[in-house]
A = this chain, B = another copy of it.
Amino acid sequence: MAQIQRNQPLYEQLMWRIKAQVASGVLIIGEKLPSVREMALIEGLNPNTVAKAYRALENQNVIETVTGRGTFIRANDGFAADEQLIASLQQQLGEVVIEAKRASISVQELHRWLDSCYSGKPHSPRRMHDISH
């Protein structure tokens, strides 16, 4: 049950929240994440859903899991920009641009958005749920 009316899987939403906090510095390297069951209570999700997110994040080398101790933010050491990843990012960016052009959003505006995102801090009504509570 949980939530209705979402176009993105719950475990992906959680992944992005964690990723955003890592990128913005809210979560630092080595920091311990809440346990699967604890995070499930916090986020109102099923432990399996959280576990799925953790497993996916580990595959992307965002976090590191020590089987009896917990999960921790991983250092972003040597991440080669995959050819396939590049293409995927460019396609996603292209879709955003196409929609923006249709909405008469100037390229300057988009550049501003990009800088804001890259700085780590959202500019406007960007909702960023805090997982620590």
Contact = CB atoms under 8 A, between A and B. Distances in A.
Given A99-B89, A101-B23, A104-B81, A94 B110 contact: no
B85 A99 contact: yes
Nearest to A119: B107
A101 B118 contact: yes
B100 A89 contact: yes
A92 B91 contact: no
A19 B96 CA distance: 11
9 contacts: A19-B102, A81-B103, A81-B104, A85-B103, A89-B113, A92-B92, A92-B96, A94-B117, A97-B114
A117 B100 CA distance: 11
Interface stretch (A27-35, A45-53, A120-128): A120-128
